[in-house]
Structures are given as C-alpha cells and as structure tokens.
Amino acid sequence: MKYLSDDGTVLGKIKDFLIDQTPVPGKENDPIRPRVVAIRVKNGKDSRVLDFSSFEIKKFKRKLRITCLEVHDISPADFSNCLWLADDIQDKQIVDINGRKLVRVNDIRLVMIPAGTYAIAVDVGMDGLLRRIGIDKPIQSVLDPFSVDIPGKFILWDDIAAVDFSNSNIKLSKSSSKLNTLHPSDLADIIEDLDKASRTYVFASLDEETAADVLEELEPHVQIHIVESLPVEKVADVLEKMPADEVADLLDSLADDKAEKLLDEMEKESSEEVRELLEYPNKFVGSLMTTDFYTFNEDLTVNETLEELRRQRPEPAHIYSIIVIDKHERFLSSISLGELVIADPANQLREIMNKHAVSVFDDDKVDSLAELVSRYNLLAVPVINKNRLMEGVVVVEDIVEDLLSRGKTR
C-alpha cells in the first residue's frame, strides 16, 4: 500500500500501523477501541515512523487514498501500551475470550471516523486470508453460481486477548489483561496449546491468584516447563497460593535441587506443610491428602459453627465437610456441609455427628481408599495419625486421579 503527498506524488510504501490500547481516563470500562497513532513507512532503504494525525484517508475511485499532509516523526516509546498491527497481531495467535480458544488472525478491521482511525475487530475467517493474498474475488466469482459465500468470521477487539508476544517488548497489563476473565481450566487448556515461549509469557502475565489456579489445572509436563522457565521468586509466590498437596505433587516431579530452592524461597509456614507431605512415600495415604481442612469442637452449636465458617471465608473447594474434634483435639467425626445447613441451629455438633465416623491413618495404603469411598459414598476422607490427631483430608478427585495415573480404573 502506497501513501501520497498532498499533490498526489507517491512518497513511499506503508508497512505497518501502530495502535494505542491505553483506556481513556475515566472510561476504563468502556469498550476498547485502539486508535491508530503512528504509521511505519518505507521509501527505498529509508524507514521511519510518522505521526498518524498528519495523514488523511479518503475513498477515491472505490479505493482508499492515503495522503500525508505533513511529515512528523514520532517514537513508539511515547505510548505506554501499543501494538504494531502487522508485526504483533496479524498471523499471530490470539485468545477468543468468548469461544475460549486460540485462533489465528488473518486480517484486521479498521474503521475511520472524524475522531480518528480505530481497530475494531480481527478477521479469523477464510475470507480475510484470501483477501490478504488477493484471490478472494476470483474465488468468490467461481462460487457465486452455486450461491456459496467464502466464510468470514470477525471477533470484536473487546473479545480478544493477544498472547503471541514472547519475542517483543510489549507487556500485558495485569490489571487489564482479559486473560484473567477466563476460568482457570479454560485458560490452562489455552496455555497448553501455545508454544513454550508463549506459555511462559502468558503465565507470567497473570496475577498470583489466577496463576495458582491455572497451574493446578495444567498437565504435569507443562507445569514443569513453566516452573523451570520462571524465576524462583515468581514461582514461589504462586506456589504459596496453592494447596500444599498440589505443591507437593508438583515438586515431587522436579529435580531435588530445584525443589529445594523453591521450598527455601517460600514462606516458612507454607514450605513446612509441603515438606511434611513430601516425606510420605507414594503408596501411603499421606501422599494424597490435603492439609486444608477445618476443625470445630464438639461443644459448638450448629449456628456457632456456621458463623465461624462465614468469618473464616474458606475456599469452597476446601470444605467438603467439617471435622469435629474433642477438647484434646482428637478426631471424633466429620459432618458434611449439607448436614450442617439443615440441622437445628441450637444443636451441638456432638448431637448431629455420626458416632461411627469413617477415617484412615496417614500410613495406610492408598489402595484402600477407593473401596472406602465407594462403600460409604464419601466426597472426602479424614486422615488421622495413631494418636487420632488430624493430619489432613483426602478428597475423592485426588483418589480418582491417582487411580487413573496408575491405570486402575474400573
């Protein structure tokens, strides 16, 4: 594409457009419409970046005519959140936020209004690809007699997130990254489909809470790659947000020196929990248990227990049931949340708990768990030591995963 002077003289070729994605102050929640702020042009061997406000775009004989009214050089560094459309977006992988999948950009849709030129959508359909290489019209003419159109698909700019920036200086803002809006399991699927460099870059752009949830969902080989690719300090901060049993499983797959470095970098309380779990051989129940559980004295009423749960605000995934203990902190029973909610608020926990509660010892064999869960229809099994003190809880998902990994599904 060429650009002209005001008198129609050809000045050179247009190579790329720079868009600024910075939200307008006070309008952060408005739809994102990145504005074209600069243009990269080339004349022979001379390449320069010019201020786009000095350009005028008009339709002329059914084509676009791009005129440079004045030449003003500009630096992309003057803008905080910019992308080159051809270099950084076109032919790159992006995330279709609504479709929760990776797609490749074939073309980019711009709109011109008096206020400026804006990027409004990306074309991920066949129509955009054929149009770029200049064969869309000949192919469409062949298809016209059959009343068939070349399929086109546009995704609005608000519904995408760019991910293929591993080799550029562009940084995703943690506060505005659209990737954080996806469910961790969806985001994990997307990250697994990326190349290694992009995996690391996208993961590093996530906030710590989201990164921890995503890391749990990733396949083991992808977990290992990401952990080994990022600084120890960054990984340790993420691991501290994860359940201790998940961290133990991950570290167990790493080289001993790498695992030790991560444990040393983690906060003392978190690392000690993980170290305790790592001491259990894989064949023992203790190797599968999580240390995220909640204990309540048998003398508490149902209402007091619920009030305390509301105060502590535990993660829903950590409270399949509550653990009832005596004054010596010894295990007595467990009560499901369903049983707790429907019980008389004035009743004490000892009145509603099962007097013949099921539990396992931390040094019991893992093989015993599947039958126990199946027989009693349990979602979680309390794990105690020989003194009947609580050590942890094994949830049914971890039991199933263990069976699948060993090829023992029934």
pLDDT of residue 391: 95
Please tell me the distance from the alpha carbon of residue 97 to that of residue 343, in angstroms, as a whole number: 43
Q: What is the pLDDT along the chain (410 residues), one digit of tens a residue?
A: 788 788 888 888 999 999 988 776 655 556 668 899 999 999 888 899 999 988 988 877 667 888 888 888 988 888 777 889 988 888 888 888 888 888 888 888 888 888 889 998 888 876 655 666 566 566 656 556 655 565 567 888 888 776 655 444 444 444 346 777 788 999 899 899 888 888 888 898 888 999 999 999 999 999 999 999 999 999 999 999 998 989 999 999 999 999 999 999 999 999 999 999 999 988 899 998 988 899 999 999 999 999 999 998 887 766 888 999 999 999 999 999 999 999 999 999 999 999 888 999 999 998 888 888 888 888 889 999 999 999 999 988 888 777 666 654 44
Please tell me the distance from the alpha carbon of residue 223 to that of residue 253, in angstroms, as a whole number: 10
Cβ(129)–Cβ(107) below 8 Å: yes
Please tell me the distance from the alpha carbon of residue 336 to that of residue 319, in angstroms, as a whole number: 8
333-351 as b/e: b if 16+ CB within 10 A: bbbeeeebeebeeeebbee
Cβ(323)–Cβ(296) below 8 Å: yes
Residue closest to 323 by CA, chosen among 305, 341, 311: 305
Alpha-carbon separation of residue 33 from 21, 28, 118, 172, 367 (angstroms): 7, 11, 6, 16, 57
Residue closest to 227 by CA, chosen among 190, 189, 266, 193: 266
Task: Please report the sign of the dihedral spanned by the C-alpha atoms of residue 17, residue 176, residue 160, residue 115.
Answer: negative
Residue 371: strand, helix, or coil:
helix
Please tell me the distance from the alpha carbon of residue 231 to that of residue 240, in angstroms, as a whole number: 15
Q: Tokens at residue 406, please?
A: 């060993």
Residue 312 exposed, middle or buried by CB count within 10 Å (0-12, 13-18, 19+): exposed
Residue closest to 228 by CA, chosen among 257, 186, 205, 264: 257
Q: Which class is domain 295-405?
A: alpha beta
pLDDT of residue 277: 92
Domains 189-279 and 295-405 share a fold: no
Structural domain boundaries in the chain: 2-161, 189-279, 295-405
CATH code of the region 189-279: 1.25.60.10
pLDDT of residue 175: 37
0.75 exceeded by pTM: no
